[in-house]
Chains A and B, each alone.
Chain A
Amino acid sequence: MGTGSDNKYHSVRRNAESAPAKFGYNSNSGLFGNNGNHEGIREIKTDNPIKDARELFAIIANGGWKRLKNDSGMEVYVLPDNTYITLRIHTKSGSPAVDININSNPYGSKVKTQKIHFI
């Protein structure tokens, strides 16, 4: 069973578009937040990095299946459209991060592969 409690089909596009404005999702670029030092590296400034990372992860991974959860705060879910979503509470750069790894772009989804740091 996935993270969501409903039985609807959850694509990464649908989940991304349901994210609150504070996460800065741009449906034209398919990216969250602001540019980091590569377009695929994103930054979201927040007063509560861990809470917001967990919140965005729960939204993007909604309807997915758990592939991994380890004791260092890393969780990996896969959505029905084969998108992998990773939550990293502890990273070597110090900020929690949510990764979106797109393996296909069904239904015209523009969501791009990206790593989102919460700083």
Chain B
Amino acid sequence: MTKASRQLSEDSKKVLHSTIGKRIECFRVIKDHEKTRPIGLVVVDFDDGSSIEIRNSEDLVPFFDGKEELNGFSCKEFDDRILERIPFDKNKVPTSTIKSIDLITDKIVVHSNKFEDYIIIIDAGIIINGDKHSYIFALDKVFFFEQILCSVDGNFEEMRPLGEVKKYWEMGDHIIDAEITRASEQI
């Protein structure tokens, strides 16, 4: 089986892991973006003055019989020099001390009468579990869109319903069907 993958790098996982024990203060999104559906970037600010960015960007990966840009998450410490060029809005969120972080991974197996079975593995969500609240960041259902769905104490399954993801991957006359499984891993 051939495979496409958009998963968090080890460096991104380390950045996320380094936030455990810190208290979330607010989210920042680029000015005028919807605070629950920003495009491309969310900055999370902590009580110790540090910040990380959670980014949804495209990368070129093998895709069926060619290459295509698939969107996926990456995380790094926020470089606030960007603020000199791009204004951000600060959005206060209910505060919590981070206890753990879960990574949600969707595995899609596309059965086709044109290609051999094709596997796509996408890290589709990051859930930051606090002592009082949970903070969810989910990819949009479409594989080429930079929108980040953000929620406090939301439901990941409602934000990125498996049925809608499946429907998208079943587009096309040569597609027989798509199987989707979702897994959660603590990082």
Q: Which A positions have Cβ atoms within 8 angstroms of B?
A: 35-41, 67-68, 76, 84, 86, 91-93, 99, 101, 112-113, 115
Contact = CB atoms under 8 A, between A and B. Distances in A.
A39 B60 contact: no
Contacts of B140: 101
Interface in B61-116: 63-69
B66 A37 contact: yes
Given A68-B39, A76-B39, A115-B144, A41 B68 contact: yes
B183 interface: no
Query: Which of B32, B59, B64, B68 has its CB near the most chain A CB atoms (within 10 A)?
Result: B68
Pairs of residues from A and B, 3 with the lowest C-beta to C-beta distance, nearest first: A39-B172, A92-B60, A37-B64
Interface of B: 30, 32-33, 39-40, 58-60, 63-69, 140, 142, 144-147, 168, 171-173, 175
Given A67-B33, A68-B30, A99-B145, A93 B68 contact: yes
Contact of B147 (A36, A84, A93, A112): A84
Contact of A92 (B33, B59, B172): B59
B175 A113 contact: no
Contacts of A37: 63-66, 68
Contacts of B69: 91-93
17 contacts: A37-B63, A39-B173, A40-B172, A41-B63, A68-B30, A68-B39, A84-B145, A91-B69, A92-B59, A92-B69, A93-B68, A99-B145, A101-B142, A101-B145, A101-B147, A112-B171, A113-B142
